[in-house]
Structure 1
């Protein structure tokens, strides 16, 4: 029984091939557009057609279908389309074969070729019984305004929800829409007869990237921290304090010398009373100046030390406001330090 089945299958395939080959040899009315084609294209198309038939005889269907398809592109002929349909049927491309047999049937009917009409009709019916169909299902948010492509070819919105014949094998669906992230999904179509339901993938919102500012950025000069200014003020006041102490010491020595001279000469140096008063006044002036200088020195040195020791980061620092106020009178001299830390 197995040998008998194989013999029957070989006889059927041979009959199919020779029938298609014989029909392909029938004269086809030359369309007006063909007369305008370049002779080189027609020559290449004829060569590809012959190579395709040779590959079909050797059952190299992938190669044969490829050559028939290219010949059809260069020079569309009904005989070439009929062979391409037969090649796709033998290669399991049922959806492609079904569409091509129906096209041959329509063309043959228009040109009055009844034998080709009957041949294409019989094989279209046989292939239709084996079709694999795919039904694409999409939720309204996905389908609204979206572009859908199946194997790189755009599909209209009307195709959604309809069972579409597709060749068995691997396919890809691509979905894109304005303001959305595009997605693509690969799916497999089994051998028919079958109907496979494919969910059209939903799209996520595209992330909006912040455009970089066109304005050039100008480098800013590093700002001087309050802590640095406070330390500088401390060193300045410290320097003033040291200078004040030095001046106080100098004027103090002068004051002591004048006071000693006054005490020794009062009433005994033969001077007048006015001279004695002038000498006393000069000694007192030196004493006041010395006292004031010492006061400025002590206050300046103390304030400078406080500023340096209390220098802190900007977040913990308060602005220091200092004011040194000297005070002089006939009885005493000195300075006072006013401000807040």
Structure 2
């Protein structure tokens, strides 16, 4: 599924979070003999990993098995692996998908047993899942709250929502305001509430172009420079090339982070599946948004870095001049904007 379709699906699932997904009959899936055999092998490896307490490996194996062939038994072991890792929210969603699944009269006995086990284990798990209510004060416009660097949907601001136990990092920003970072440790079954105190922050000072005369002026079109002294234009060129390389490096880093987040979003969506909803759908959307933000920063860094590097090279070359003579007149004006950066001037 393409990114746009996945983002649209995630948004729709979040909007209808209170609606149960359409039931799937367990005996309906059809798959090739090779797919079924591969699913059995992956499930066997997952079971061995689970018994050896290698729960992350078990999650990977059961996800692979479920991707090859759907079976409530795969999802049941996936839920147990998530629970063992402390990912209680994902474990609950996996249990729920089994409980809500419609089993036809021809469903195997193993599937029926998996559903019965899921109902019992879900009842035991639900009280263990903590909740976190995040709110901000005072009232502000365009409030953005992140939990562990993932945006908290605006609809969940100020109301309790399920969260995994452990330590979580909270941040909040608003129009002209920000709140200090706050860490909170939540235990199983705890109902936590955190208020983030927003305070006014100084706006960044506007960037003022710096008009730097590259060469001195004189009545004869130039003034003698001390022999052997490096031209100011060449110094400026070297500086701009350095800034450009730094910009290219930053752009490349953020581009790589964007690709990593995009891959993580794809993996989360594949895990979530077409019938997921609630927190897993929110997580997919948050990963997509994070990937978009990092991708935008990467593009800006590459554009600005390229412009600065090229301008620095040009300035370095044209500022060579003649020995002992500075260029008659030259003016350099660096600029940086939302879409990139560069230098304008006359030489």
Query: TM-score, normalising length from structure 2?
Result: 0.43
Greater relative contact order (CA < 8 Å, ≥ 6 in sequence): 2
For the pair shown, the structure with the greater C-alpha radius of gyration is 1
Point out the structure with the larger helix share.
1
Query: TM-score, normalising length from structure 1?
Result: 0.44
